[in-house]
Structure 1
Amino acid sequence: MTALPTRKLEAWRYTDLRQLASIEFAAPPPVVAPTLPNIDLPRLVFLNGTLAKELSSPFEYVHNFQTIAEDSTQPLALINAEKAHDGMTLHVPAGVDAGTLLLISYAAGSVPFAFHLRHRITLGEGAKLTLIEIAKGEGVYWHDPVIDISLEQGAKFAHIRLQDESREAFHLATIRARVAEAAAYDHFTATIGAKLSRTEISATLTGTGALAHLNGAQLLTGTQHGDFTTVVAHKAPGCPSRQTVKSVLAGTARGVFQGRIEVDRVAQQTDGFQLSQALLLSPGAEMDIKPELEIFADDVKCSHGATIGALDAEQLFYLRSRGIPDDQARSMLIRAFLEEALEPVTQPEARALLEEAIDNWWVKQ
């Protein structure tokens, strides 16, 4: 079996998997069906890593699970390829607007277990799809999903994820997207759950005018560790990319953002931007930010920004002086802080789901 990555690797410098390595994970046990979100959309439901057909609804573009050869050097993707036994293979034909699909993963068990879902999504020329992905669970488990995405010319894919796993769980997701000419990949991940989590996204822009938006929000408390790592590779001219990641950290939680923009020599007129901002709600919280630009073209516009701070005392005073209770005032400021990252999420069901999750997180503080 492929070994887990260690902090000796630069890409894993801020995330230590030794606590994961110290646990012996069993095979996924049977699980009783949970109460599912009341969202009126076609859905695929996976329970402990296996498709639950009785809880899923027909979606004509989903095909039987197919194993895929793994030729990368990413350790978690290699582990997934060795272990994966189920997942979603989805193909939307050229010119088809497939609407919105809900993808739910639920996990629960009395002993530690692991599962490795592997999904492949292909959109033909000019096709459209919105995917709302929800991960929840109870107990100690390791969820190691890999999602491979291929967008042909002019395709539009909106990918919205809510990671709200058990606070005892490990969630290590690998997402890889290839975006062709004039195609667009819009991504948003809300990281709320898991003891230790990492969302690693690689977007490769292969055709002129390809676009990638990789946004995220991390809301962590207690001793949670959340890592949001991205690599955007500009391999064609005239491609814009945007990354906005907002982190709200309480207790002794630790957040990580590593954002890398790579611009090939042929990728003239690249427009790349990334922004990471963190709000620390307690003195024990920590945020590590590592932006990177690797540019070999000369006609480009690339920039990055990073800030770390606390809630503005003057803004709190202003709200409280108008009769707003302290908790409500803090909640309002946090929501305002997250708004920029949430702004691209316009799908109604997804937006409502994320806002409810954020509100619930604050209530539990």
Structure 2
Amino acid sequence: MTAMQQKGAEGFLHRFEGLRERLPGARLPWAAALRDNAAEAFRASGLPTRRLEAWRYTDLRAVSEAGFDEPLTALDEASGLPPMHGEARAVFVDGRSRADLSRLDGVGFAAQSLAANLREAEGRLGALCRPDEQPLAALNTMLFEDGLVVTVPAGMSGGVLDMLSLASPTERPSAFHPRHLVRLEAGASLTLIETATGPEGARYLHNPVFEIEVGEGATFIHARLQQEGAQGFQLSTVYARVAAGGTYDNFTLNAGGKLVRNEIHAELAGPKGACHMNGAQLLGPGQHADTTTFLDHAAPDCASRQTYKTVLSGKSRGVFQGKILVRQPAQRTDGYQMNQALFLSPDAEIDSKPQLEIYADDVKCSHGATVGELDAEQLFYMRARGIPESQARAMLVEAFLAEAVEGVSDPIARGALEAAVAGWWDRRLKEAA
């Protein structure tokens, strides 16, 4: 462990010990054994460095140096909240539930604050998470105080649920680590539109962990809009297990933040399950975004699709690492993985590492990566017909991203993602003006 890595880890461990010492009246009086084991793992590993293969392209020295402290929630008003996409909304400020800003009554299924419903949540904590293997999951397990707990009963259509994560406009660097648990029972369905945002000048770390269980024949659409502030860090980890005949459909849009990592671990645990992990990274000057996926085909007759696209402008850097593991029992697997990057600047950089690891005989798997610039002939053609250059470039970028966004089956979620993409490009044009 390097000196800087050790310093960053010690800050988080000091906060953990301070909270634990105030037991039993402290905010961490529950899941003590789970937290202690995670703290031991984090103490041994520290924050990951580029010496680890999984972190080869993403440097967390800025996180180690920031000196993140406990957040002081300062958002008192509901003004300025984005419009709801569905009829229900769960709001978190600095990782803590805000019942006064949420609207969860009458949704027909259980959607509650983790901290307010410990009895239901504690038995589910850690079912999928692996803090001994992922240091950021260990960090979350040490320090989480709240999160969203969702249970959709068998056969129920849960509709659309909004989840909004806000960072408050505090002056000191702060860190929060929410833990979210989602369970869809057999035949259930739900669309979750998750939006994360924060003030432009605030320096904060948002380190969420999701544990998602998709039951037999259930369908979970998970649309993630990452729009953190310009100085914000988001390091998220998603764990999903899909039972027989179930579908997990994830789309992540990285369009904000100074340094972002979106890590997904999905397991197709039952026959005829499906997993779609798609996304887009829209990067401006000084931004770094890393998408890392691990898809475990553990059962036969399952299908998976991954399409990730990155648009890079200015001096930005994108990363895609995707691995598909096909175990020996997973015969008749159908897997596809593609990563494509579009450069809008000669100063940008992309690192792409798609991987296949196959132990079954009867499979159909493919992967690939492409890198390119806007087509000069297409741009000339559009400008020759009176289309301004900025509009022509916008049209070509939107066409590049269309394939990824069109894969989102829920029209409400797809519309939210398309609006976010358009908003990102509008901001880039204003900054260039």
Compute the TM-score of the two structures, normalised by the length of structure 2.
0.83
CA distance in 2, matches of 1:95, 1:353: 26
Letter in 1 for 2:180: H
Q: Percent of counterpart pairs with the same letter? A: 51
Letter in 2 for 1:13: R
Whether 1:61 and 2:91 are equivalent positions in the alignment is: no
Look up the match of 1:119. Answer: 180
Note the alpha carbon deviations across 1:23-61, whole angstroms, 9 max, x for none. 111111122235111225200000111111011012441
Instruction: Assess if the C-alpha contact under 8 Å between 1:192 and 1:219 holds in 2.
Output: yes
Whether 1:35 and 2:84 are equivalent positions in the alignment is: no
Deviation at 1:354, TM superposition (A): 1.8
Instruction: Assess if the C-alpha contact under 8 Å between 1:227 and 1:257 holds in 2.
Output: yes
Whether 1:13 and 2:56 are equivalent positions in the alignment is: yes
Instruction: Assess if the C-alpha contact under 8 Å between 2:301 and 2:330 holds in 1.
Output: yes
- Unmatched segments (≥5 aa) in structure 2: 1-12, 14-41, 115-120, 429-433
Deviation at 1:71, TM superposition (A): 4.4
Note the alpha carbon deviations across 1:159-213, whole angstroms, 9 max, x for none. 0010000010100000010001010000100100010000000110011111000
CA distance in 2, matches of 1:43, 1:361: 24
CA distance in 2, matches of 1:182, 1:346: 17
Look up the match of 1:223. Answer: 286
CA distance in 1, matches of 2:130, 2:311: 36
Instruction: Assess if the C-alpha contact under 8 Å between 1:31 and 1:48 holds in 2.
Output: no
CA distance in 2, matches of 1:52, 1:265: 46
- Tell me the matched-pair count: 365
Instruction: Assess if the C-alpha contact under 8 Å between 2:222 and 2:251 holds in 1.
Output: yes
Paired residues for 1:1-365 under 5 Å? 1=13, 2=42, 3-32=46-75, 33=77, 34-39=79-84, 40-58=86-104, 59=107, 60-65=109-114, 66-67=121-122, 68-69=125-126, 71-72=130-131, 73-108=133-168, 109-138=170-199, 139-365=202-428
CA distance in 1, matches of 2:371, 2:361: 31
CA distance in 2, matches of 1:364, 1:206: 42
- Unmatched segments (≥5 aa) in structure 1: none
Do the aligned partners of residues 35 and 162 (structure 1) sit closer, same or farther apart at CA in structure 2, a change above 3 Å counting?
A: same
> What is the Cα-based RMSD across aligned positions, in Å?
1.2
Find the structure with the greater CA-based Rg.
2
- List structure 1 segments (4+ residues) > 4 angstroms apart after TM superposition: none
Deviation at 1:288, TM superposition (A): 0.4
CA distance in 2, matches of 1:61, 1:322: 55
Compute the TM-score of the two structures, normalised by the length of structure 1.
0.98
* Larger fraction in strand: 1
CA distance in 2, matches of 1:80, 1:362: 33
Deviation at 1:344, TM superposition (A): 1.8
Note the alpha carbon deviations across 1:305-351, whole angstroms, 9 max, x for none. 11001000000011111110000000000000000100122434323
Question: SS of 1:364's equivalent?
Answer: helix
* Larger fraction in helix: 2
Instruction: Assess if the C-alpha contact under 8 Å between 2:406 and 2:414 holds in 1.
Output: no
Question: SS of 2:424's equivalent?
Answer: helix
Letter in 2 for 1:62: A
CA distance in 2, matches of 1:167, 1:356: 19
Deviation at 1:63, TM superposition (A): 3.6
Instruction: Assess if the C-alpha contact under 8 Å between 2:221 and 2:410 holds in 1.
Output: no
